[in-house]
Amino acid sequence: MLKISTRCRYGLLAMVELGQCYGQAPVSAQEIYKKQRVPKFYLQQLLVKLRRNGLVESIRGTRGGFVLKKDPKTIKILDIVKAVEGPVQLISCTKQSRDKCCSKIKECLTRPVWVELHEVVNRVLSERTLHDLMR
Amino acid sequence: MLKISTRCRYGLLAMVELGQCYGQAPVSAQEIYKKQRVPKFYLQQLLVKLRRNGLVESIRGTRGGFVLKKDPKTIKILDIVKAVEGPVQLISCTKQSRDKCCSKIKECLTRPVWVELHEVVNRVLSERTLHDLMR
DNA sequence: TAATACTTGACAAGAATAGTCATATATAGT
DNA sequence: ACTATATATGACTATTCTTGTCAAGTATTA
């Protein structure tokens, strides 16, 4: 059904929250999950992934929290999705991953639709930045 | 990860096969799964769904099989995906299903991306027909 | 040193995916 | 009428993914 996962939704919510406070004091995980009503421990997990992918920085201790590591204008939505979910790979037979292709790639009449879908999704997520979502 | 399911892939493969023989003799499930190397019983299930959704017609008995019920030019890829998987619903807060929305729809800063993604996917799948995939 | 906050890694329930199978029914050809 | 071929239906199952939870540890500030 191609449903957007909660991982994606919560991850982006968190990033938007951090975006709103860009340049200011760090925002704690607690502030985010209270404001956005997302599960505490689940959110923590996602924040760790965002940190490991270089999107946010964590500051430990009292008055600590998370801050964006880059300007919201330079953060693509795709970067965020990739960070919490891994690559957005609608099919395995793309140019990027030739190895996983089935052997009938050339004769495959259905492939063009899936490729187009794959490309269009990645394009939309690449064109929009975190900044575009903020007011 | 928004991966295309095998349901979708196999369903479309089957429809393309039937499309190739449109106007000719019925194609048996066996012919399809042998040619496309998809699991026999799984394919049967998908064909039943395609029939129940009015995309194909089944003919029982010897020399039976399946035929398209409509011209490939009038069958949208979206119709096929819907038949085997149900509606393509990337998020639950769309215009179509207001009821399932969260209460914060107006303040939700992340929603626009998901809506755009939802629309773009549905548009691509609606614009392409089965005929477009055939040579 | 107490309180706050992130870190790490393991664990688990539930749903979805992918696929199987037995039994029944229908039809064509002989 | 009989047989071989084909679909119909519904139940069943293994595996994976999703969506979390939790405990114990580390770091920092006031």
What domain range is B23 assigned to?
Answer: 6-133
Query: Tens of pLDDT along A66-75?
Result: 999 999 999 9
Specify the pLDDT at position A68: 98
In a domain, A1, yes or no: no
The CATH number covering residue A46 comes to 1.10.10.10
Averaged pLDDT for residues A36-60: 97
In a domain, B83, yes or no: yes
In a domain, B1, yes or no: no
Specify the pLDDT at position B93: 84
Mean pLDDT (chain A) is 93
Query: Tens of pLDDT along B5-53?
Result: 999 999 999 999 999 999 999 999 999 999 999 999 999 999 999 999 9
Among A15, A18, A80, A110, pick the best mutation site for testing chain B contact (most B Cβ within 10 A).
A110
B127 touches chain A (CB under 8 A): no
Count up the domains in chain A and report the number. 1
Between CA A29 and CA A9 the distance in angstroms is 16
Among A69, A87, A73, A85, residue whose Cα is nearest residue A11: A85
In a domain, A30, yes or no: yes
Angle (deg, nearest 10), helices B40-52 and B77-85: 110
pLDDT reading at B100 higher than 70:
no
Specify the pLDDT at position A99: 52
Written in H, E and C, the secondary structure of B9-71 is: HHHHHHHHHHHHCCCCCCECHHHHHHHHCCCHHHHHHHHHHHHHCCCEEEECCCCCEEEECCC
A21 pLDDT band, cuts 50/70/90, is very high
